[in-house]
Amino acid sequence: MSAVWSAAWAAVRRRLLQTIVIGVVVCASTATIVMALGLLESAAAPFDRAFATQRGAHLAAAFDPAKTSDDQLRKAAGQTESAGPFAQSTLDTSTGEIFKGTLTVAGRADPGGPVDRLTIWEGRWATAPGEIVLNRAPGGNGRTNLGFQLTVPGRPTLTVVGFAHSVTGSADAWVTPEQVEALQPTVLQMLYRFPNAGTAAEVAEGQKSVTAGLPEGALLGTLSHLTVKDKATSELGVFIPFLLIFGVLGLVVAVLIVANVVSGAVVAGFRHIGMLKALGFTPGQVMAVYLVMVSIPAVAGCVLGTLAGNVFAKPIVQDAVEGFGVTELSFAPWVNAVALLGMPALVISAALVPAIRARRLPAAQAISAGTTAHSGRALRVQRWLSGTPLPRSVSLGLGLPFARLGRSALTLAAVVLGVMTVTLATGVTMSITAYNDAVRPSYADRVEVLAGGPPGLPVMRNPEMGEPPAAALSDADDEKMLRAVPGTAAVMAVSQLETEVAGGTQNATVLFYRGDVSALGPRVLTGHWPDGPGQVAVPSRFLNQRGLSVGDTITVQAKENRTQLKIVGVVLTNNEDQIFADWTALNVLAPGTRAHAYQVKFTPGTDRASFTAAIGKGDPGLRVLPPRDGSSSTAVIIISASVVLTLVLGAVAALGVFNTVVLNARERRRDLGMLKSIGMTPRQVTVLLSTSMGALGLVGGLVGMPVGVAVHQLLVPAMAHAGQADAVDILMDVYHAPALALLALAGVVIAVLGALVPARGAAHLSIATVLHNE
């Protein structure tokens, strides 16, 4: 055993570069695997995870305070884990200066408790009258932030002091129990956790047990965690196909490269194996020497990689699943266990195949097998290349991959996957950007001008902004003024009405546009933009949710007026409860309503500040909103995750190429020395070795690019479906010829980047040393 150990240790030290390469590759691959598995695991159950951390409510129930009491509710809950009762009030805020719909506000003294433990991720909990905490997923942002004041006519003004998140969505906002009394609560809320709640029947069972004995009609309504989960998963589910694909890709690339590096190390040692046998090592001992030799760096790399994976991969995965409310992410123990045990197992099995071959190899043959395997095909390729007019260093390089088909194939596979990842990630990024641009137009070239809130509606007020806007001029004069401001390219007036859509339970906001709708309005996907009083355009989700189609007629009621609108088009927008009509329709539903906002597009080169100032001079009562950030946090997260994953997988693929060049150069160093002795310059040697990998890179690019495009075309509809996104054509149609050409070359880039360093190293190796040592 000690002979084996010392021979292995000597081999490790003598092949320091190879040892380092194995260590680094295993380390990077393990980190990738930890990240991939972490992604797979987190993506598979982010809701469940957040639900478990927060001890989410299996059932949220609303009771009528007129029919039951706190004591009765507590008693009915009995041994069941529960929180509450919390008095709950509904604040009817509405679309005003800052969008907020109806707010469900619960009075709660403490964010903790046995059920529905809220995560306060910004600010603090409400402890005094006049304070409110909003429910929002961590990292999310809206138009409100700390310090905003919520004013509802007839109620106390509330200042936002914190943001908390409830996975169960038990309320939209929280205030202190004393404060909620001032908001005229109408409901008592109870939150329950049941021992079994996996199915709707089990939840119903639980519900029966906690409401038994309560007066008739006390229970107003319930919300099951199953419903909440459905909704959450469909909102952020768009991540899941994406994360799964990247997880799987990471896994496969890592496994391939480790297999390549480790088996390569053993094959490269055949000559050494022959010598060990000649010294009297038994076949078993030889095998052991090789297994120990690769295990030393592999185990070190594996441990470091697991650590690195936990440290560096976590923020990425964290970002990706944060929207679900997971704030404290820790990889499940099995992820680290799989990495720590699986990687050495993979290394050993990758080493075992060639090691078993080495075990059987007769000593003499092993010594002579040290250089290269010669298939007839490799020789024919070389002969053909010799006759081509290519520079000799290039043609020799092109022939090199054929001498070691197995190794070349594994390297090629890694490059293919690398290119595929780059292609896919680029495509996903472009899809998301394109979609994002389409649903949220860039506000870089336009300003939003407020003329005043729609009459009679409450507003969310930002104290920093001062008084709410109140236009001084008439609607027509304002529009005329805006069109006259130097630099104006287009003006669109906007008004809106909250309406009830007959036949549906949900209300819809009708947006009325006037002016340059084609330049500033939403994109029409099918049909046409409303051009008469009886017409409306809607998002496709509106159609899907109500079972309608283009050509159907809907009846909307606003205040006393009721009108029939024919659906004439489908438009692209993010909000399924917004429908669009022409200004003529407004004159029917609410005659005389003025525009409460304008969108003004300015010509390129116009200075936003002076443009804004000119508008303020034209009508001091108008308020120009600060420029809006056009990107969504979902988009930002997916794009940044894409970039990081692309870099990691691209780097791991390049590392695979690096290793192949190191092995090839080592095997061929006698040949390289000879070539230099007959006058090959260092540069030609670099060209030779880089060409050999560049050729693989080119093939890898030509294969990987279409595969990446194909996966994109499969993945995107799945993402769009999960996210219920419209306009799949915008998402799909993102690759264009120049981009495709560049992506096909990505393989060459990966290969040449990986090859360059070892190729240059080999080119500058002293010939005398090489020839002396062989």
Partner 1 sequence: MNNDVVVAITDLRKEYADSVALNGVSLTVRAGEAVAVMGPSGSGKSTLLNMIAGLDRPTSGSVVVHGTDLGSLDETGLALFRRRGIGMIFQFFNLLDDLSALDNVALAAQLTGTPASQARKRALELFGELGISNRRNIYPARLSGGERQRVAVARALMNRPALLLADEPTGALDSRSGEQVMDLLLDLNQIGQTLLLVTHDERLATRCASRVVEVVDGRIAREQSLERTS
Ligand X SMILES: Nc1ncnc2c1ncn2[C@@H]1O[C@H](COP(=O)(O)OP(=O)(O)OP(=O)(O)O)[C@@H](O)[C@H]1O
Among partner 1, ligand X, none, the one that 221 touches (CB under a kind-dependent 5 to 8 A) is none
Q: Render the burial of 614-643: b for 16+ CB within 10 Å, e for the rest.
A: bbeebbeebbbbeeeeeebbbbebbbebbe
Kindly indicate which of the ranges 149-157, 164-172, 376-384, 532-540 contains the residues binding partner 1, using the contact rule CB under 8 A. 376-384
Look at residue 557 and give the partner it binds from ligand X, partner 1, none, a contact being a CB closer than 5 to 8 Å depending on partner kind: none
Q: Minimum CB separation from ligand X for residue 767, in Å? A: 10
Give the start-end residues of each E strand in 519-616: 524-527, 535-539, 553-558, 561-571, 578-582, 597-602
Question: Which lies closer to ligand X via its Cβ, residue 208 or residue 772?
Answer: 772
Q: For residue 620, give the amino acid letter.
A: P
Q: Which is nearer to ligand X, 397 or 673 (CB)?
A: 673
Q: Which is nearer to ligand X, 630 or 682 (by Cβ)?
A: 682
Closer residue to ligand X, CB minimum distance, 629 or 774: 774
Report, in angstroms and rounded to the nearest whole number, the Rg of the chain calculated over CA atoms.
34
Report the nearest approach of ligand X to the CB of residue 761 (Å). 17
Q: Which is nearer to ligand X, 365 or 769 (CB)?
A: 769
Residue 673 Cβ, how far from ligand X at the closest point, in Å? 11
Residue 551 in the binding site for partner 1 (CB under 8 A): no
State the binding string over 726-765 for partner 1 (x if CB under 8 A, else -): --------------------------------------x-
Residue from the set 102, 371, 526, 561 that interacts with partner 1 by CB under 8 A: 371
Q: Count of H helices and E strands in the chain? A: 28, 21
The Cα angle at residue 648 between residues 646 and 653, in degrees rounded to 5? 90
Q: Which of residues 401-460 bind partner 1 (CB under 8 A)?
A: 403
The DSSP call for residue 521 is S
* Cβ at position 298, least distance to ligand X in Å: 31
Q: Mark the segment that binds partner 1 (CB under 8 A) among 95-103, 370-378, 435-443, 540-548.
A: 370-378
- Selected from 127, 388, 555, 603, the binder of partner 1 by CB under 8 A is 388
Euclidean distance between CA atoms 124 and 120, whole angstroms: 7
Stretch that binds partner 1, among 227-235, 295-303, 476-484, 679-687 (CB under 8 A): 679-687
Question: Of ligand X, partner 1, none, which one sits near residue 666, judging by CB under 5 to 8 A according to partner kind?
Answer: none
Identify the CA nearest to 326 among candidates 39, 26, 669, 622.
39
501 has which bridge partners? 556
Q: Shortest approach of partner 1 to residue 268 CB, angstroms?
A: 16
Residue nearest ligand X, CB atom distance:
772
Q: Which does 392 bind (CB under 5 to 8 A by kind): ligand X, partner 1, none?
A: partner 1
DSSP letters spanning 395-459: HHHHHHHHHTHHHHHHHHHHHHHHHHHHHHHHHHHHHHHHHHHHHS--GGGEEEEE--PPTT--E
Report how far Cα 268 is from the mean position of its chain's Cα atoms.
41
Cβ nearer to ligand X, comparing 123 with 682: 682
The candidate with the shortest Cα–Cα distance to 149, out of 100, 87, 88, 184, is 100
Q: Does 677 bind ligand X (CB under 6 A)?
A: no
Binding mask 733-772 for ligand X (x = CB under 6 A): -----------------------------------xx--x
Q: Indicate the Cα dihedral angle 465, 466, 469, 473, nearest 10°.
A: -120
Quote the CA–CA distance of 600 and 501 in Å, as a whole number: 30
CA distance linking residue 80 with residue 209, whole number of Å: 9
When asked if residue 337 is in the footprint of ligand X (CB under 6 A), the reply is: no
Instruction: Quote the tokens at residue 774.
Output: 């062989």
Output the smallest distance, CB 378 to partner 1, in A: 6
Nearest C-alpha neighbor of 108 from the set 91, 122, 87: 87
Give the 3-state DSSP-derived string for 623-673, with helices as H, strands as E and coil as C: EECCCCCCCCHHHHHHHHHHHHHHHHHHHHHHHHHHHHHHHHHHHCHHHHH
By beta-carbon proximity to partner 1, the closer residue of 506 and 681 is: 681
Interaction between residue 683 and partner 1 (CB under 8 A): yes
Question: Within a 10 A sphere around the Cβ of 209, how many other Cβ atoms?
Answer: 15
Site residues for partner 1 per CB under 8 A:
371-372, 374, 378-379, 382-383, 386-389, 391-393, 399, 403, 670-671, 673-684, 764, 766-769, 771-772, 774
Site residues for ligand X per CB under 6 A:
768-769, 772
